[in-house]
Chain A
Amino acid sequence: MSSNQWLATGNFFTAYKQEQRTFFTHLDRSVFSLFLALLLIWPMVFPLSNKYMLVIDSTLIAIVAVMGLNLVTGFAGLISIGHAAFVGVGAYTVAALCRVLGDSHGLVTHFWPIVILAGGLVGAVFGAVVGLPALRLKHLYLAIATLSFQMIFEWTINFMTFFNQGQTIFVGRVFWFTGKVMRREHYQFWYYVTLVVIILSGFGIRNLMKTRYGRCLIAVRDNDRAADAMGMHPGFTKVYAFALAGFMAGMAGALHAYLYRGVGFESFTLHHSISYLAMAIVGGLGTLNGSFWGPVAIQFLELQVEHFSGFAGEYLPSSMNLATALRPLTFGLVIVLFLMFEPRGIANWWRIVKSYTKKWPFRY
Chain B
Amino acid sequence: MEIRNRAFQITAMLIMVALAFTCQVHAKEYKLGLSLAITGPTSDAGNPYAKGVEDYFNFANETKILGKDTIHCSIRDDQYKTSVTKRNFEEFLDDGIVLYLNYSTGSTLGLKKDFEEEEIAVIPASFHAGNLVDSNYIFLPIASYSEQVVSLAEYIAVHNKGDKAKVAMFIHPSAFGRGPVEDAEKSIAAGLNIEIVEVVEHGKDLDSTAMLKRLMSKGVQYVICHTVQSPVAAMIKDASRLGIVAESFGQEGKITFMGAHYTGGNDLIALAGKAAENFYWTTSYNITSEKNDGTEKQLALAKMYNRDDKAANSHNYANGIMVAQVATEVIRRVKEKGLKINRENLYKELNAMNGANAYTPYTTVGPVTYSATDRAGVDMLQIYSVKDGVFRKVGQPITSEFMKKIK
Contact = CB atoms under 8 A, between A and B. Distances in A.
Is there a direct interface between A and B, measured as CB atoms under 8 Å apart in the complex? yes
Interface of A: 49-51, 54-55, 58, 158-159, 164-168, 170, 183, 260-262, 264, 266-267, 306, 309-310, 313, 317-318, 320, 324-325, 327-328
Nearest to B92: A51
A102 to B, nearest CB: 14
Nearest to A318: B306
Contacts of A164: 175
Interface residues of B, number: 35
B174 A158 contact: yes
Interface majority SS on B: helix, strand, loop or mixed? helix
Nearest to B173: A158
22 contacts: A50-B94, A51-B93, A54-B86, A165-B174, A166-B106, A167-B106, A167-B109, A167-B110, A168-B109, A168-B112, A183-B117, A260-B83, A262-B113, A266-B82, A267-B81, A267-B82, A306-B77, A317-B54, A317-B305, A318-B306, A320-B38, A325-B39
B138 to A, nearest CB: 13
Given A158-B173, A310-B76, A327 B39 contact: yes
A58 B77 contact: no
B230 interface: no
Contacts of A267: 81-83
B81 A324 contact: no
B110 A262 contact: yes
Given A264-B82, A317-B305, 18 more contacts: A51-B90, A51-B94, A54-B90, A165-B178, A166-B174, A166-B175, A167-B109, A168-B82, A168-B110, A183-B118, A260-B83, A264-B109, A267-B83, A310-B74, A313-B75, A324-B39, A327-B77, A327-B79
Interface string B92-125: 0110000000000010011011000110000000
A222 B374 CA distance: 65
Interface string B336-353: 000000000000000000
Question: Which of A159, A170, A183, A264 is the most central at the interface, judged by chain B CB atoms within 10 Å of its CB?
Answer: A264
A320 B51 contact: yes
Nearest to B86: A260
A49 B51 CA distance: 29
Question: Which of A165, A167, A313, A327 is the most central at the interface, judged by chain B CB atoms within 10 Å of its CB?
Answer: A167
A50 B83 CA distance: 14
B50 interface: yes
A325 to B, nearest CB: 8
A261 B117 CA distance: 13
B112 to A, nearest CB: 8
B24 to A, nearest CB: 17
A309 B77 contact: yes
Closest 9 CB pairs of A and B: A168-B110, A51-B91, A167-B175, A51-B90, A49-B94, A324-B39, A50-B90, A324-B38, A168-B109
B94 to A, nearest CB: 4
Nearest to B51: A320
Contacts of B90: 49-51, 54
Interface string B170-194: 0001110010000000000000000
A51 B87 contact: yes
Nearest to B308: A318
Contacts of A165: 174-175, 178
Interface in B291-306: 305-306
B59 to A, nearest CB: 13
Nearest to B54: A317
Contacts of B305: 317-318
Contacts of B257: none
B175 A306 contact: no
Contact of B81 (A50, A266, A317): A266
A164 B94 CA distance: 31
B113 A328 contact: no
B80 interface: yes
Question: Which of A49, A55, A266, A310 is the most central at the interface, judged by chain B CB atoms within 10 Å of its CB?
Answer: A266
A319 to B, nearest CB: 12
